[in-house]
Amino acid sequence: MEFNFSFGWALAGLAIAAVGVLLTVYYRPFSDNFAHGVKSYDHVKLAGICITALGFLIMANLHLILLNFLVSLAFPR
């Protein structure tokens, strides 16, 4: 599978990365209101960092290559 850049995936990845960055920066209010408070601060920060990394993968259109690799491992030809 070859690499093809797509503006649609780039914008979607940018939006997902922005949500991840906002979650990482404002983890305290989110954790206090939607999670279990102080004991989940680190979990919310980790989730924000993972969402940001996923957004960058989608922005660079690398998620299709990774998914193709995983599917080819699960279902060999």
The residue type of 2 is E
Instruction: Dig out the tokens for 59 from the structure.
Output: 């922005």
Per-residue pLDDT tens digits for 13-66: 999 999 999 999 999 988 888 887 777 889 999 999 999 999 999 998 888 888
Rounded-to-10 torsion of CA 59, 65, 67, 70:
-150
> 1 falls in which pLDDT band (50, 70, 90)?
low
H-type alpha helices, 1-77: 7-25, 27-34, 41-59, 63-74
Q: Can you give the pTM of this predicted structure?
A: 0.80
- Cβ burial, residue 13 (10 Å; 0-12/13-18/19+): buried
Model confidence at 3: pLDDT above 90: no
Model confidence at 75: pLDDT above 90: yes
